[in-house]
């Protein structure tokens, strides 16, 4: 299989699947097909040095299988870095289901997907993402225990979008502190691209602090909800890049910061909760610097959702999840300081912090430690009699 993508997409000019995996050091990709229920899905496991790969599953009407593969690989890599910088003992993975979330959801489809997740035996733990709701995850959970983001009635944490929004909100405040000298957002103009669940919560945080909010989305009904709830000003989808604002907040799909859109930006800060906002890090990160725009690395500022569902694995505590999400403020301050000290883009500084933790923990895991499951069953270690005796 070769991958051909449209101009200026990330990873993929005529690369084979294995070349794509090797280019970003992914461990595994699983293609899931169940024709009877219409399931076409891809699961990518990027790195499990720190623990099992945890990352949401999104449902989206991708234009092609190649586009879906490119997206899931980018997203899985971002989850590895996100977990590492957030200090979580988790690796990075992601799932995508090819389909329209508005018309093609069925119980059978999600339960079939759950069977594929179960087959990975814990290497990948799934959760909600774009196009997925708590109900969908509950269907997945009927077939696998490796799922988070389920309803509170079933012992989970429910929709993680409010915690994602909290992390993004405090990340905006940290960015404002760096640029304006104060982390107050009162009177600041913030344009939000995308009007999903996270944006709704984010807009309410901003409204309470007295920020002026602009909102755009492909779906007018979503925009109208935030206009009503948070007093936001509706903006045409394409015009959102041209607003003269203090903070531009990409909260939709990835790749919206590219060679066409960055020259149009009129803001000193980009801070949003979308994944993979930079279409090409090495190209578009420096472009933001050239325009004197501070970029809050996406997988750092949007880590609240991962932090929230990770807490389910240890017994969910809402206060603890919120406390961890609030630390995103300090993490971004550290990243901005490191970027200044080393003269590197902020995304490179956050990547370096993530890689440092992966290297450090990776060294520790090279030391053998006996597992309790072997206790009393040493025969499993092949230390019996005769030639196998140690």
Where in the sequence numbering do the catalytic residues fall?
Answer: 94
Q: Which of 101, 166, 126 is nearest to 42 (CA)?
A: 126
Rounded Cα distance, 274 and 280, in Å: 15
Q: Which two tokens stand for residue 324?
A: 């961890």
Residues 6+ apart with CB under 8 A from 159: 128, 133, 134, 149, 197
CA 382 to chain centre: 42
State the distance between the two ends of the chain, measured CA to CA, in whole angstroms. 47
Give the DSSP letter string of 361-378.
Answer: HHHHTTS----GGGTT-G
Q: Which of 57, 23, 73, 227 is nearest to 132 (CA)?
A: 57
> What's 348's DSSP letter?
H
Phi, psi angle pair for 245, to nearest 5°? -135, 175
Phi, psi angle pair for 337, to nearest 5°? -65, -45
């Amino acid at each position: 299989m070769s991958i051909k993508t449209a101009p200026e997409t990330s990873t993929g000019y005529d690369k084979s699947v294995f070349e794509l995996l090797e280019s970003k050091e992914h461990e595994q990709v699983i293609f899931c097909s169940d024709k009877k229920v219409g399931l076409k899905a891809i699961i990518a496991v990027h790195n499990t040095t720190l623990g099992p790969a945890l990352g949401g599953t999104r449902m989206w009407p991708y234009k092609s299988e190649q586009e879906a593969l490119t997206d899931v690989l980018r997203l899985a890599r971002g989850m590895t870095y996100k977990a590492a910088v957030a200090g979580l003992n988790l690796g990075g993975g992601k799932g995508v289901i090819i389909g329209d979330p508005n018309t093609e959801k069925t119980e059978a489809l999600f339960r079939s997907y759950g069977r594929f997740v179960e087959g990975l035996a814990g290497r990948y733990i799934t959760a909600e993402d774009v196009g997925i709701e708590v109900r969908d995850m509950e269907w997945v959970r009927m077939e696998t225990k490796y799922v988070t983001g389920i309803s509170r009635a079933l012992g989970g944490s429910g929709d993680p979008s409010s915690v994602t929004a909290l992390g993004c909100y405090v990340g905006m405040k940290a960015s404002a502190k760096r640029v304006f000298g104060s982390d107050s957002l009162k009177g600041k103009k913030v344009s939000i691209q995308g009007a999903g669940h996270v944006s709704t919560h984010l807009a309410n945080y901003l409204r309470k602090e007295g920020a002026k909010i602009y909102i755009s989305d492909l779906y007018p009904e979503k925009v109208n909800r935030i206009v009503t709830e948070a007093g936001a000003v509706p903006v045409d989808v394409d015009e959102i890049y041209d607003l003269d604002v203090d903070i531009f907040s990409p909260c939709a799909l990835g790749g919206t910061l590219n060679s066409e859109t960055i020259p149009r930006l009129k803001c000193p800060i980009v801070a949003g909760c979308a994944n993979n906002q930079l279409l090409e890090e090495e190209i578009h990160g420096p472009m933001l610097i050239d325009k004197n725009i501070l970029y809050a690395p996406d997988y750092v500022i949007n880590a609240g959702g991962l932090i929230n569902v990770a807490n389910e694995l240890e017994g969910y505590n809402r206060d603890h999840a919120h406390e961890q999400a609030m630390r995103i403020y300090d993490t971004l301050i550290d990243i901005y300081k490191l970027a200044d000290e080393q003269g590197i883009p902020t995304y490179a500084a956050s990547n370096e912090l993530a890689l440092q933790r992966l290297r450090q923990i990776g060294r520790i895991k090279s030391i053998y430690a006996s597992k309790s499951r072997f206790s009393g069953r040493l025969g499993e270690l092949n230390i019996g009699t005769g030639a196998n005796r140690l």
